[in-house]
Structure 1
Amino acid sequence: MAAPGEQEGNIILGSIFPNCPVSTTIGDFSLHQFFGDSWGILFSHPADFTPVCTTELARVIQLAGEFAKRNCKVIALSCNIKKTHLLWQKDIQAVAKFDNLEFPFPIIEDNNRELAIRLQMLDPSEKDSLGLALPARAVFFIDPEKKMRASVLYPATTGRNFDEILRMLDSMQLCDKYRVATPEGWKKGDDVMVQPNVTDEESKKLFSQVIVLSVPSGKEYMKKTSLKDI
C-alpha cells in the first residue's frame, strides 16, 4: 500500500518517491527523513565484497564533497546485513585512498531484498550462487520535494560512471533555476539551449544574448545562450 502522496505500482518520473523505512550503517530512519530538504541520490548494489561495487563506492567517497556542494545527500543500498557493510567499508576506503576518513554516507542493509523488490531493482538475467536474481545497479534522483526526477538502471555486470551522475544532477538543478536545457555532452560551464517554449519576448528578458543556430529546415528552434549571460 502506498503512503499518502505516493503512487501504487511503478515508480514514475515526477511521482513522490517511496518513504521507505531503512536500517543503515549509521542508524534507522525513513528515506524522506534522511534526505530532508536536500536533493537525494539512492544507488543500489548487488552485494558486499564484490569488485565492481567496491570501485563504485570508492568513487562516491572521492566525490562526496562535490555532492555536498550541490546540497545532495547520497545513500547506498546493498543486499547484505549491516555487519558486513561495516567490514566492507574498510576495503572501500582503501580503494578510494581515503582510509583515514570517516565513511561519508550510509549503506542500507537489504539482506531479504525487500527494498530491492519494492523499488524494482532486480536484474532477472543475472543470478547469484543460489540462483536468485541479482539487484541491478539502480540510481534514483530525488528532489527536495521528494519527487523522483530521474532514474538510471544498469545491469549488475556494468559499473556506473558517478561523474556522469554528478553531471545529471548539475543539469537538473540548473534547469530548475533557469528556462534552459542542456545539450548532448554538456558539462558545467558550457553553453545551454533555450527551452523551446520560451518566446522571443521572454528570451530578451531572461538572457542577455541568444544565438540562433542555422539549420536546413530554416526553423529557428536551435537557440543557445551562455551561462555567463544568465
Structure 2
Amino acid sequence: MTLTIGDTAPDFEADTTEGRIRFHDWIGDSWAVLFSHPRDFTPVCTTELGYMAKIKPDFDRRDVKIIGLSVDPLDNHVSWAQDIADTQGAAPNYPMIADTDFAVSKAYGMLPADAAGDPTDRTPAQNATLRNVFVIGPDKTIKLMLIYPMTIGRNFDEVLRVIDALQLAATHKIATPAQWRQGDDVIIAGSVSDEEAHQIYPNGWHAPRPYLRIVPSPLSPA
C-alpha cells in the first residue's frame, strides 16, 4: 500500500508493551508519532529510542502521543528496553508495537506484501525500510512522512519543529518559511485572499512579492 500526506493513517489492532491497542482509539483527539525500527537490539535505533524517552515531555506538552514499532516479539522489546536504559540513560516510556505478523508494516507500506515467516529469522538489512516516521493528526490523517537509512540517526528535534508548524497551520491560515522556529515570522497562506488577510491582520503585512506576505507569528510574544 502506498501512502502519502493527506491519506488516512491505516487503523489496526496490535499488541504493545503497554497492552493491546486499536490505533485510532489510542490516538483519540491527540496528535501521534509512529516511528519504526528494522529489528530490536540495533545500534542506531537504540540511541533513538533512548532520546525519544528523554524528550517525551516535549511531545506531551504538544499533546502528541509517541509509539514505536519493530517486528520483534514483546519479550525482546522488554529486554531491549533494559539495554536502552543502561546505555542511553532512559528506557522507552511509550508503547512499542510487536508487529510480529508484519501487518502494520505492510499496511503502512514499509514492508512488501510478500514478507512472511518468523520475524526473528529476518536480518535488520531485510527490514531496512522500517526506518519511517509518521506524524498523524487528530483527524487521523498523515501530516508528515520521513524515511531514514539504517546508518543515520533520526533528528527528533526536527520532528518537534515540524509539529509546531503543523499545529500552528492547523489553527491559523498560515505557512512557515525555511528554517522556521517557534516565534519566527510566518507567511499568510496562499489560499487566503488579500481581502480576507486584511480582516485577519488589520495592521497589514510585509510583501517583497505579492505572493509572499509575511506577518509575525500568531504565537509570538506580545
Give TM-score, length-normalised by structure 2: 0.86
Which of residues 39, 50, 54 in structure 2 aligns to 1:58? 50
For structure 1, the 5+ residue unaligned runs are 1-8
Q: Which position in structure 2 is the counterpart of 1:192?
A: 186
Check 1:46–1:207 CA distance in 2 against 1; reply closer, same or farther (3 A cut): same
Q: Which position in structure 1 is the counterpart of 2:105?
A: 116
Partner of 1:83: helix, strand, or coil?
helix
Distance 1:36 1:53 in 2: 27
Distance 2:155 2:68 in 1: 15
Partner of 1:132: helix, strand, or coil?
helix
Shift in Å at residue 133 of structure 1?
4.0
Distance 2:65 2:22 in 1: 14
**Does 2:40 match 1:48?**
yes
Please provide the CA RMSD for this pair: 2.2
Q: Which position in structure 1 is the counterpart of 2:95?
A: 106
Partner of 2:140: helix, strand, or coil?
coil
The aligned amino acid for 1:93 is: A
Q: Is the 8 A contact 1:46 1:137 kept in 2?
A: yes
Shift in Å at residue 148 of structure 1?
1.4
For structure 2, the 5+ residue unaligned runs are 113-121
1:79-158 pair list within 5 angstroms: 79-98=71-90, 103-122=92-111, 129=123, 132-158=126-152
Q: Is the 8 A contact 2:7 2:141 kept in 1?
A: yes
Shift in Å at residue 95 of structure 1?
3.6
Q: Is the 8 A contact 1:141 1:151 kept in 2?
A: yes
Shift in Å at residue 137 of structure 1?
0.9
Q: Is the 8 A contact 1:25 1:86 kept in 2?
A: yes
Q: Which position in structure 1 is the counterpart of 2:216?
A: 226
Partner of 1:37: helix, strand, or coil?
coil
Shift in Å at residue 47 of structure 1?
1.1
Check 1:165–1:181 CA distance in 2 against 1; reply closer, same or farther (3 A cut): same
Q: Is the 8 A contact 1:212 1:221 kept in 2?
A: no
Q: Is the 8 A contact 1:210 1:224 kept in 2?
A: no
Q: Is the 8 A contact 2:39 2:124 kept in 1?
A: no
Q: Is the 8 A contact 2:73 2:98 kept in 1?
A: yes
The aligned amino acid for 1:225 is: V
Check 1:133–1:59 CA distance in 2 against 1; reply closer, same or farther (3 A cut): closer
Once the two structures are overlaid, the 10-residue window that deviates more, 62-71 or 135-144, is 135-144
Partner of 2:105: helix, strand, or coil?
helix
Deviations 1:187-218 (A, max 9, x none): 1111111112222222222125443243xxxx
Partner of 1:176: helix, strand, or coil?
helix
Shift in Å at residue 36 of structure 1?
1.1
Which of residues 15, 28, 40 in structure 2 aligns to 1:36? 28
Give TM-score, length-normalised by structure 1: 0.83
Identity of aligned residues (%): 35
The aligned amino acid for 1:44 is: S
Q: Is the 8 A contact 1:140 1:152 kept in 2?
A: yes
Shift in Å at residue 38 of structure 1?
0.7
- How many residue pairs match? The answer is 211
- Larger relative contact order (CA 8 Å, sep ≥ 6): 2
Distance 2:52 2:71 in 1: 18
